[in-house]
Amino acid sequence: MIKWIKPTRTEWTSFFIMMPFICLLLNNLLFGSRAFTDVKVWLFSFPLIYFIGCVSWYLQIALMNRLREEFPDIRQTPRRLAILGLSHFLIRTLAFIFIFTFFDSLHFLGYELNLQKLGFAVYCSLGLTLMSTSMWEANYTFNQWKLLVVEKEKLEQLTILQEFETLKSQVNPHFLFNCFNTLSSLISEDRKQAEVFLNELSKVYRYLLRNNEDGLSTLQTEIRFIESYYQLLKTRHGDAVQLEIEIDKKYDQYLLPSLSLQLLLENAVKHNVLSKNKPLVIDIFTTTGNKLVVSNTLQTRSIKGPSNKIGLENIRNKYELLSQPGFQVLEDKTSFSVVLPLIWNKITQQKLVSNEFIIKPWK
């Protein structure tokens, strides 16, 4: 069964624009001034040449599509173009020769073969081939480039998604490992406190299971979670840790990577000295320019514990994967601060709000 080629819009457009001029050119070469004055030329010669031109054009399109299937690789382009240009020139030239000799053999409308004008028609065929083939190939190359760009973007998105999933998977085991270490210490020191801690831990982990799936959470949800997480810290460290939160309500539905605040609080507790006489003060507040700042007093431990650097690098990498600039780490003699850009995304925000898991602050 014959598989008919469906020309593109560009190919149809080029045919309908160029064919009338080709008909006019050939009829002028065949009949001279009669092409503009003789009604018979318009009634019989123009339609016949138009039909032959249509067949010639379709053969060129079919051959062009066949060559694209045979030589699809970008490295094969020079070879494909060479074959295509030569083939198109031959098809169009043979069509012109056929018209001239066919009209001469029938003495159509009194025509007699003129080799000089036939030679000029062949030169015209070369020019028309260069023009039409270049236009078709330029359109094809541009469409292929667009497809490559789309495929590249999809591949990049898939890679980013995979990397983001890897970063998310680091958080839960890291968080649980630290919590179980704390619980282990409490069991040996104060069983009642250990029971309170375990109860709070169950609330917090429910958040982890529900909100870490999307990778992004609203600031409102993160703050609710961090208030519960703070109770875990209070259970373990008492008044040695203090948390102050000042959030502008207009930023409630802005987004940030899930568990960012928990990681920052955990780092602050891990790397600073905690005591009731000199408590570690952690401030969380919003600023102009859609920024959230997490700052803590700098009370660096003299003996630093081992660090796998998951916390800050995890957050930084997430912002890089989201192509969100503005993540900063600032440190001076008295404080350590991290600036988190808040992200506004209406579609994601609506999805997150619909799935939001609310944790009531511990009292």
Domain-located, residue 179: no
331 and 238 together in one domain: yes
208 and 337 together in one domain: yes
147 and 232 together in one domain: no
* C-alpha radius of gyration, the chain, whole number: 38
Tally of domains in the chain: 2
229 and 141 together in one domain: no
Q: What distance in Å separates the CA atoms of residue 103 and residue 45, rounded to the nearest whole number?
A: 9
Domain-located, residue 1: no
Stretches in the chain below the pLDDT threshold 70: 1-3, 155-178, 208-214, 303-310, 345-363
Mark out the alpha helices in the chain (DSSP H runs).
Answer: 9-31, 34-37, 39-40, 46-70, 77-106, 115-189, 191-211, 219-237, 260-271, 310-321, 346-354
CA dihedral for 306, 264, 261, 180, sign (positive or negative): positive
Domain-located, residue 160: no
198 and 332 together in one domain: yes
148 and 259 together in one domain: no
75 and 204 together in one domain: no
Q: What is the pLDDT of residue 152?
A: 76
337 and 252 together in one domain: yes
The model carries a pTM of 0.50
Domain-located, residue 256: yes
- Of the chain, the end-to-end C-alpha distance in Å amounts to 79
Which residue is associated with the tokens 């619909």? 354
Range of the domain at 210: 190-354
Domain-located, residue 176: no
252 and 300 together in one domain: yes
95 and 198 together in one domain: no
Q: What distance in Å separates the CA atoms of residue 274 and residue 182, rounded to the nearest whole number?
A: 15
207 and 121 together in one domain: no
Q: What is the pLDDT of residue 211?
A: 59
CA distances from 243 to 184, 221, 273, 285, 290 (A): 24, 17, 15, 11, 21
Q: What is the pLDDT of residue 353?
A: 44
Domain-located, residue 304: yes
Of 152, 182, 214, which residue sits at a domain end?
152
Q: What is the pLDDT of residues 237-258, one digit of tens each?
A: 888 999 999 999 999 999 998 8
| Residues paired with residue 338 on neighbouring β-strands, in sequence order | 294, 329
Whichever domain contains 325, its CATH number is 3.30.565.10
In angstroms, how far is CA 46 from the centroid of its own chain?
A: 51
Of 125, 152, 179, which residue sits at a domain end?
152
Q: What is the pLDDT of residue 167?
A: 53
Domain-located, residue 57: yes
314 and 259 together in one domain: yes
Domain-located, residue 247: yes
Of 123, 152, 181, which residue sits at a domain end?
152
Residues 208, 216 contacting (CB under 8 angstroms): no
Q: What distance in Å separates the CA atoms of residue 43 and residue 56, rounded to the nearest whole number?
A: 21
